[in-house]
Amino acid sequence: MNYRWLAAAAALFVLALFAGSRMRRLHEPRFPPLSELKTGPFAFSDAALAVAGFRAPAADLAWIDLLRYTAGSLPGYTDSPGKAYEHLGVLSLRVTRLDPSFHRAVLFAAGILAWFHGVERPDEAAELLHEGMRRSPEQPLYSLYLAALAYKRQGDSNRMIALLESSFDLPETPATMKAILANLRQSRGEYREALILWIRILENDRDRSEHGRAKTKIVELRGLISRGAPAKR
Amino acid sequence: MQTIAAVFAYTLKEHIRHKAWLSSALFGLVLLGGALVVSALGQDERARLMLDLGLAAIEAISLVSIVFLTVNLILQEIESRAIYLILTHPVRRADYLLGRYLGTVAAIALGMTGMALMHLALLSLYGGIEPARYLAALGCMLGKTAVMGALALLLSLALTSEAAAMSFAVFFWMLGHFSAEMRFLADRSGSAFLKTALVAFSHAAPDFAHFNYRDFWHQAAPGGDWLAWAAVYALAYTAACLALSVQLFEQKEF
């Protein structure tokens, strides 16, 4: 019996092993192991998609679940009384553990947890940001938000706002965070600054999700300014 | 070479006429449309969702098509006894198998190109993407598809059962994406036997985890040398599977 094809297969397989080791040495995808995926009702579908090589689409679907939760329409995730956005941290970790390059999930959740009116859980936000930074140290917004949180804890809101505003035009900054910033300005009586921020949101195509609110806010702030409301507290 | 070209052209035409292939393309269109709808829910990340879900849809359709087509490629001809007619002609079995395989991969590549063009047209509505990176991702997906095709062909000839070959092909697909996890488990395993078995399995299965450009698109992009080694890997692994398939095919008694 002729085994020349078998010999050729063995030689080609050795070549494939060599090329595979070179390929792995040149680039290693940075995905957390499957054991670190968040548990919960979605664990099976997340693991199945990850094992089939669809981690990025799984993270995308998890992001949609996160948005549905913030809109109050994710079944099985109802907040306890007095604890708004109780599951936000878990759901954003679900996204980032599927795909650590999905920075916006962590930034979005940290923004709400740290600065949203009536939520204010900066410790939880800091935990999220630390995990995001550990998994993607190259993302500058994690450390910037952590620094802003430090200013918030010190009560230095001027420096906090200035720092957050320095990231306003970066593509990774979530539209929600920009809206929070504009609201922070308004709550301090800085209507002109708040108006400028809302106009910048409206002019940016990436912030389409906040355009509806921006239009309302611009009308409201123009009214306040024209009525001569106090310019600065 | 002429025989390979003739079988290649015949196979390509056959697949283009094939209804299963057309329904796959239609299904791909539906999936791409689904990606468009789902991405609308993604707010600020709509472009990212459109990119990821579209590429995933193209890959899923290509995988299903290649496994289905290659598993049936030779088995159906053996069942219908058409193979007797073909092999009575002066056609080397290796040439016949290679022509059939290449024709199938070319048909899938055509389908992928069509879906990619539609996907790119949709992506252009959301600002577009870097064409070089898209091409690299598509190339890696084609590489995975080619490897899976060769593996499915080998399995169909070794197992001589369509259902078993398809099940094992899907198993290898999963195992291929599990290679990094297997090496992670091997590192932590206390048993030398288990460690060796895991390392052997992780190397024997195609390393799709490191080949998944589409999935790590949003991470730091690998360089051109990585792409070159990835191409060598896909070609060598595919050729190894095809050589084994030819060995099995030549040993078959008709």
> ipTM, 2 decimals?
0.86
Distance CA A147, CA A139 (A): 14
CA distance A59 to A28: 19
B9-31 burial code (b ≥16 CB/10 A, e <16): eebbebbeeeeebeebbeebeeb
In this prediction, residues B108-118 reach a mean pLDDT of 88
Q: Is the CB of residue A17 less than 8 Å from the CB of residue B234?
A: no
Taking an 8 Å cut-off on Cβ atoms, the answer to whether A12 and B229 are in contact is no
Average pLDDT over chain B reads 85
Chain B: closest CA distance from residue A32 (Å): 10
- B217 and A56 within 8 Å at the Cβ level: the answer is yes
**How many other C-beta atoms are found inside a 10 Å radius of the C-beta of residue B212?**
23
- Percent of residues, chain A, with pLDDT higher than 90: 48
Give me the amino acid identity at A87.
H
3-state secondary structure of A118: coil
Predicted TM-score (pTM) of this structure: 0.87
Q: Tell me the pLDDT band of B19, cut-offs 50, 70 and 90.
A: low
Tokens 């906090």 sit on residue: A160
Contact residues, chain A, for B184 at CB < 8 Å: 33
- Report whether A222 contacts A195 (CB < 8 A): yes
Residue A233 in this model has a pLDDT that exceeds 50: no
**CA-based Rg of chain A, rounded to a whole angstrom?**
23
Candidates B31, B36, B52: best to mutate against A (most CBs of A within 10 A) is: B52
pLDDT band, residue A200 (cuts 50/70/90) = very high
**B249 Cβ neighbours under 8 A, 6+ residues apart:** B74, B93, B94, B97, B157
pLDDT digit string (tens) for B116-166?
888 888 888 777 788 889 999 999 999 999 999 999 999 999 987 888 999
| CA A227/CA B108 separation, integer angstroms | 67
In this predicted structure, what is the pLDDT of residue B21?
64
